[in-house]
Every structure is written in structure tokens, then in C-alpha cells.
Amino acid sequence: MTTREEILQSFNPNDIGVDNGNLLGLPFDYDSASIIVIGVPWEVTVSYQAGTAAAPQAILQASRQLDIFDFDYPSGWQQGIFMMEIPQKIQQKSDALRQDATRIIEGLEQGKSIAEDAELSQVLRMLNQECRAVNQWLYGQAQAAMNLGKQVAVVGGDHSVPLGYLQALADRYPEFGVLHIDAHADLRDAYEGFEFSHASIMFNALQLPQLSKLVQVGIRDVCHDEIHLIQQSNGRVSAYYDPMLKEKLYAGIPWLEICQQIVAELPQQVYISFDIDGLDPKLCPNTGTPVPGGLELEQAFCLFREVVRSGRQIIGFDVVEVGDREWDGNVGARAVYKLCNLMGLSQLED
């Protein structure tokens, strides 16, 4: 078995990114890497446009065009980053089940009561069971990697996919916070009847008592129930709505100062959940549910950087809802690589 030290002696980071099945063409494997990236090609419950199930592959392909030097952590690549083989069985099942989910969504849009339709009720139960199985699969994969002392990153797929990883982290950390970048609050209870909907990920995450603080940034498409949940959370959930952030910027408050205020709300251990639709949709036009407004990519990176500068530790992250086109994959790959480096850097700062 080739060790990481041996790999570092023979690899030239200035060479072209080779098509070796790994992010950026890096030469690491599961054993030699300290960060394991798990692609989850799943989008059964998407409620607008599909394509995010193909995002792990799009990110992988686009990543070879990135240069490896990172301004925050120039030697970050040396920690070893490895993306596991994307499970095609999961994507195939997602594609098939998406047709069933569409029947549920169309029924609701036509005013049907799913509870009063025996056939649709059975389909819904099956879909919830299959989504739960994917959560359990990811839980097992994350636990296995963390038991070997590795850090884990998740690439979606839609925003429902990281729940199994969050559950694994909850087994490991008695308390942690989530920094959530998104156009949506994702605080709906079983949206459209789907227990594990992409619009319910943060509602489900809040069922974990170890999650002591949820800080949401960039929210601009939200329903009354979600606003009520935030207001009634006794400070457990803080939302930095995009219109209010823009007003602060227009008033001349520096973004860096805003980032420091946001980070100050987080506990010592931080998980970052980065829904790419939190960005301006010019950067992610093929995301599942694009919304006008949002952050620039470097604004998001500035916020993540402040987590590290504050002395907090990034214990994991996900990048989700990336579209399946080349440009979306390019932006998604940059987000994944930056967060890998900042996560590794935060461990050094600890």
C-alpha cells in the first residue's frame, strides 16, 4: 500500500489534472486520504427542476480544470482528499423513484388528498422508506470513515441527502452548530408528504438534540410556518435573511463585519451545509430551485473563512443542489475544494 508520504514525494501539483476518478486528479485513495468525499446522487423529492442527482459526476469532471493552489491553505491538497466511487445503484433508484414522486406532487397540485387515495398513500410510504434507506447507507459510510480518523464531506444530490451524515456526527459530538447557506429555510415538516424532503432537511436536523444552534444565511424564499418556527425557537435558530443582509451592505456595513457577527452565534464545533442556490443564480443557473438574489461565491468563502479565523472547528460539510451542467459543476467543485481546505485548516488551528 502506497503511503501518503510516498505519494507526496512523487506527485507534481503543477501537472495537468489526470482523469483518475478522483477530485482534481489528486493521487490519493481511501487509505491515504484524510478527507473522504461521498457523492450521493439522490433527488427523489425535488419539487422544481431535476438534475442534481448527476451533480456529483459533474463536480468530479469539472474539478480537473481547477488549479490546486489555495490562497487560504496552499498545502491543503497534501492532507489527502479522496472521492469515493459514485454509487450508480443509488442514482438509478433515484431516477426510477422520481417518477413515483412526481405522481404525488401532481396529485397535490390537482387538489387531491393523498391520505384518501389508497394507491398514492402506498406510493408515499414506499418513497419515505427508500429515502430512509439512503440515510442509513450514508450514516454507515460516514461512521466507517470517521472510525478510521478521517473527516467526511458529502456532495449531493438534493438537500435531503446529508441527514444520515448529520446523524453520524450527532453520535460523535455532544454539541455542534450548523451554518446553513441557502435560498430556502428548509424547515418544512414533511413537505408534500415526503418525510425526508429536500425542503425538510433542517426541520429533520433539528430533531437531533446535539444540534444546539442553526444559523441560516441568504434565506429569501420562505413560508409563514418556517418564519414562525424560527421565531419560536428560543434562539436555537437564527436567520440572516437575504433582503436584510443586502440592506446592511447598502448602508455601508462591511461584509466582513457581518460575517463576524454571524459566526459569533455558532458553538465551537461547526458543520457547514452549503446549498448552492444560496448563491446568486448566475453562478448556479441549473440548481434545483433557483431564486433571484443571494451571495457571491467569494462572500460565502469569506464567511467560511471567518469560522476558521474565529478558532472554531469545521467538523464536516455538504455541498448540495448543484446543477448537472459544466458551469454548475465548475462552481460546485470550487466550493467542495475550498471547504475541504478550510476544514483541514480548522483542525490545525484547534
Domains recognised in the chain with CATH numbers: 4-349 (3.40.800.10)
Confidence of residue 310 (pLDDT cuts 50, 70, 90): very high
Residue whose grid cell is 496552499: 74
* pLDDT score for 140: 98
Q: Which residues contact 90 (CB under 8 A, 6 or more apart)?
A: 40, 41, 42, 134, 137
pLDDT tens digits, 53-87: 999 999 999 999 999 999 999 999 999 999 999 99
Mean pLDDT of 303-326: 97
Tell which residue, 231, 232, 229, 255, has the closest CA to residue 242: 255
Q: Is 195 or 338 the better-scoring residue by pLDDT? A: 338
pLDDT tens digits, 35-57: 999 999 999 888 778 889 999 99
In whole angstroms, give the CA distance from residue 225 to residue 164: 25
Longest dimension (CA), the chain: 65
Over the chain, what is the mean pLDDT?
A: 94
The phi-psi region of residue 117 (left if phi > 0; otherwise alpha if psi is between -120 and 50; otherwise beta) is: beta
pLDDT tens digits, 108-130: 788 878 777 788 888 889 999 99
In whole angstroms, give the CA distance from residue 154 to residue 336: 9
Q: Identity (one letter) of the amino acid at 256? A: L
Does the pLDDT of residue 32 top 80, yes or no? yes
Tell me the whole-structure pTM to 2 decimals: 0.96
In whole angstroms, give the CA distance from residue 27 to residue 6: 11
